[in-house]
Amino acid sequence: MLITHSHKDHIAGMDDIRAFNYFQNRPIDIYASDFSQNVIIREFSYAFADFKYPGIPEINLRTIPDDPFSINGLHITPINVMHHKMPVTGFRFGDFTYITDANYIAPEEKEKIKGSKILVLNALRHEKHISHFTLNEAIEIGRELEIPQLYLTHISHQLGLHDEVAKSLPDGVALAYDGLHIEI
């Protein structure tokens, strides 16, 4: 499991990995930054206590390295972005890049994204936000990096109704949605 950052809306379901522990009969490796690991340990302290109550989530925390790495043969390039003042990790898998909860991508990190065929990027709303890209900012990043297909995620109700917003988007830009399948 790869963790982008430790905000509650991104880690709250971690307790539910107990079912995976049961069916796989092993702990789950969770890759996160040191900062996120500290929050995970605090939020799920019972999973890291000396006395392990039966049925708690079994977790092996792993630190995301600065350089590309592999998990079970999957090559992963970490992309460091900012969510206001909080570092967030995006990920590139071959021609697919995923970034959520960001409002700044440094030039050297944009270089890691270039050449992706698909980029999933957050676009919270139309108006400027302290820690998220706006719709226009996200579209501009897609154009700047010459991404053929941009999917927008982490969308607020303030963006508008799905069908109305979708009609207004340029070619190669679409709203992501629950259940979306992307083939690369």
Mind listing the domains of the chain with CATH numbers?
Answer: 1-64 (no CATH), 66-184 (3.60.15.10)
- Taking the C-alpha atoms of residue 118 and residue 183, their distance in angstroms, rounded to an integer, is 10
Separation in Å, CA 26 to CA 20, 22, 48, 58 = 8, 7, 15, 7
User: What value does the mean pLDDT of the chain take?
Assistant: 95
Handedness of CA 163, 164, 165, 167 (dihedral sign): positive
134 with 168: CB under 8 angstroms? no
What pLDDT is recorded for position 130?
A: 93
What pLDDT is recorded for position 54?
A: 84
pLDDT per residue over 48-98, tens digit each? 998 888 889 999 999 999 999 999 999 999 999 999 999 999 999 999 999
Point out the residues of the chain with pLDDT beneath 70. Answer: none
What pLDDT is recorded for position 150?
A: 98
The set of residues, in sequence order, having a beta carbon less than 8 Å from that of 59 and lying 6+ positions away, is 14, 17, 27, 28, 30, 40, 44, 47, 48
Q: Fill in the amino acid letter for 171.
A: D
- Taking the C-alpha atoms of residue 32 and residue 2, their distance in angstroms, rounded to an integer, is 6
